[in-house]
Structure 1
Amino acid sequence: MNDTPLPRIGFMGIGIMGGSMAGHLQAAGHRLTIANRSRGPRVDALLAAGATWADTPAALAGESDIVITVLGFPQDVEQVWLGTDGLLAGAKPGTLLIDMTTSSPRLASRLAEAAAAKRCAALDAPVSGGDIGARNAALSIMVGGDADAFGRAQPVFARMGKAIRHMGGAGAGQHTKMANQIAIASAVMGVAEALSYARRAGLDGEAVLAALAPGAAGSMQLTALGPKMLAGDFAPGFMVKHFLKDLGIAVAEAEAMGLALPGLAQSRALFDRIAAELGGDVGTQAIIAAYR
């Protein structure tokens, strides 16, 4: 019997995905401390189940063996990790800090260096799977950073995801997530175009989805977002404003490599149009509105 206590977890970013992810860790028996920019039902549910509230990122880190952040934008990550009251200001030597935000590979490398200077370890571990994957603890987790730190984090990752991969050194997780987002960008655009074509041809959309899903066109974007596109249901599983942030990072990284990605560029232009017309809080399936 293993009597070693579970590591204390600090979690910041109790949003659509973070709330479920933190909940899985709490249910597994980890002592959970949480922080968020605002209070709401997700935060209240975790507190009611026994989580502790921290007023600042520094206080959160000081109470934790492992800290996880799931935030919105790279500038949020930089502020929360490196600010005056940030995580690294409060972290004790030996603390493992994990950023699961989709963010900049170059920022991930900076955070790893800053953590090492404080005798801590850092991992970049963005995820794929959306709100459904988070709820079902079935996320794909792409990890960059030190191999020993990855080994330490793996039991924690296993509470939140199914496919967990160590991709290389600091920043490798974020580069892998950029590849993921580039693939999604063209895939979701393709689903919208296919359903727009089917509608114009007078076909039944549901029947088209049923016909395509088992074949070579089948994909998560088709099965998860196709029905929402047909129903005009633009409620977010993943918000357009956050996807545009990801695509902006991907474009910048590709340009720095001298790599032209026309599918990525076209998808980004369409999502820019959707954000201007419908706002950034709609789900990515709203791209179909660009074809109407």
Structure 2
Amino acid sequence: MSTPTLKQLRFFVAAVDWGSLSRAASHLNVAQPALSQQIAQLEASLRNELLTRTPRGVYPTEAGDRFYRHARTILRQVEGAVADLTGPVKVIGRVAIGLPTSVATILAHPLLGAILNRYPGIRPELFESLSGYLHELIARHRLELAVLYRDRSSPGLTVRPILREELFLVTKAGSMPAASITMRAVSQLPLVMPSPTHTLRTMIEAAFAQEGFALNVIADVDSLPTMRKVAASGLAATILPVSALSGIDDAQRPAMIRIVEPAITRPLGLCYAADQPFVGPTALVADLMVAEMRRLVESGAWGGAVLAEP
């Protein structure tokens, strides 16, 4: 059995990340036949089929999924070693970052600006998705870093608590004159919420259930822009953090009513795989993410949020 080359590892990881041989080849700026040949040679040397090819793209086999984790770690270790020797002036490498949609609305733009201005040699790869899927990508080592709704570590996952967000009732502007509303009153309103498997939904349902209330959900909507539009129109209300309304014009902005008796908050933490080498570009970007989140909270730009205890 021959030893895989770094080129083969890089080509294989790109194929899994992009889910397509043609897109991976375009990303790597190589011809697709050359990429396919390198992966075929890798599979032959390992005596295992690593990718399942379909007309709609490729995805890793069980063996491929296991090998992907090792390959990604090896490539990051090589990048970290190179970055360590190049010194603090020029850091080179890629860092894949995952942000939930509501967090991305307020954090994505300033975070990208901070990374590109501070470390122009680092190539950030930003993924925006549901938090549950981002957790899965962290576990598979397809992401180096992710912001998740967690404040404590678990087996395989290291969590650095950053802040807590208060959740508000979001409804049509002018429809409710009061500045606050009780949880009991919220339970009687028609709501649009993410699907039952969504972290925000399960967290809110658990908070209501603890007080003996149930949500009156009339539609499951896994789209933040749609939930905001429905709430602004008065068709139904929803429950979101202030960050989820970032960037909306004042004329189109729905009202945000504080939920009391009791209030509802959710934690946000910076997360990464416990067995991942935390060096080089990954460590630098992690520090920038924490600093940027803290800056947004301390400046008041991240409304309804308070920093976790250091």
Fold-level match, TM-score > 0.5?
no
Q: TM-score, normalised by structure 1?
A: 0.28
Q: TM-score, normalised by structure 2?
A: 0.27
Greater relative contact order (CA < 8 Å, ≥ 6 in sequence): 2
